[in-house]
Amino acid sequence: MYEGEWHRGLRHGLGTIRWADGRFYRGYLVRERQCGRGLMVWPDGSQYDGEWHDNQRHGEGTYLAPNGVIYQGRWCEDQKQGPGSLTYVDGNTYIGEWESDQIKGIGSFKFLPSKDEGEKVINLKVFGF
């Protein structure tokens, strides 16, 4: 179901789409395609708020996974790409580079301190195989 702006018979502009499978999108469309800023919520509770291009996450955005893990950063053709951070439910965080949806390049893991020690930071460089 669609509610929103139309142009020449096509969904175009700001709108809301609800699919039968429970997905929900609120944001901009260009000639029927998600393009520009938008929020997508999936039936499993995951959601993405950010930039879209041609129905794919593309640009800056934030993804909340069903398990509570949060990715904030760059997307390219629906994959994590470039600088970004991944924050786990326990608060530990990876900040660094991504390539093709995988951690790759220079980055660091920050671990929250336990009651007996201070914050730990591990710097690393990861290469693809």
Domain that holds residue 125: 67-129
Compare 72 and 115 and report the one with higher pLDDT.
72
Residue 7 lies in a domain: no
For the ranges 13-17, 45-49, 116-120, the lowest mean pLDDT is seen at 116-120
Q: Is 67 left (phi over 0), alpha (psi -120 to 50) or beta?
A: alpha
Q: What pLDDT, on a 0 to 100 scale, did the predictor assign at position 113?
A: 76
Residue 114 lies in a domain: yes
Residue 53 lies in a domain: no
Number of independent structural domains in the chain: 1
> What proportion of the chain, given as a percentage, has pLDDT over 70?
88
Residue 103 lies in a domain: yes
Q: What pLDDT, on a 0 to 100 scale, did the predictor assign at position 59?
A: 98
pLDDT tens profile 108-123? 999 887 666 666 666 6
Residue 94 lies in a domain: yes
Predicted confidence band of residue 124 (pLDDT cuts 50, 70, 90): low
Residue 15 lies in a domain: no
- Candidates 19, 59, 18; CA nearest to 35 is 59
Residue 107 lies in a domain: yes
Q: What pLDDT, on a 0 to 100 scale, did the predictor assign at position 112?
A: 82
CA 73 to chain centre: 7
pLDDT at 127 > cutoff 60: no
Q: Cα dihedral sign for 79, 7, 11, 65?
A: positive
How far apart (Å, rounded) are the C-alpha atoms in residues 75 and 113? Answer: 30
φ/ψ of 59, rounded to 5, equals 115, -150
pLDDT tens profile 82-99? 999 999 999 999 999 999
Q: What pLDDT, on a 0 to 100 scale, did the predictor assign at position 125?
A: 60
Residue 50 lies in a domain: no
Does the predicted model carry a pTM greater than 0.85? yes
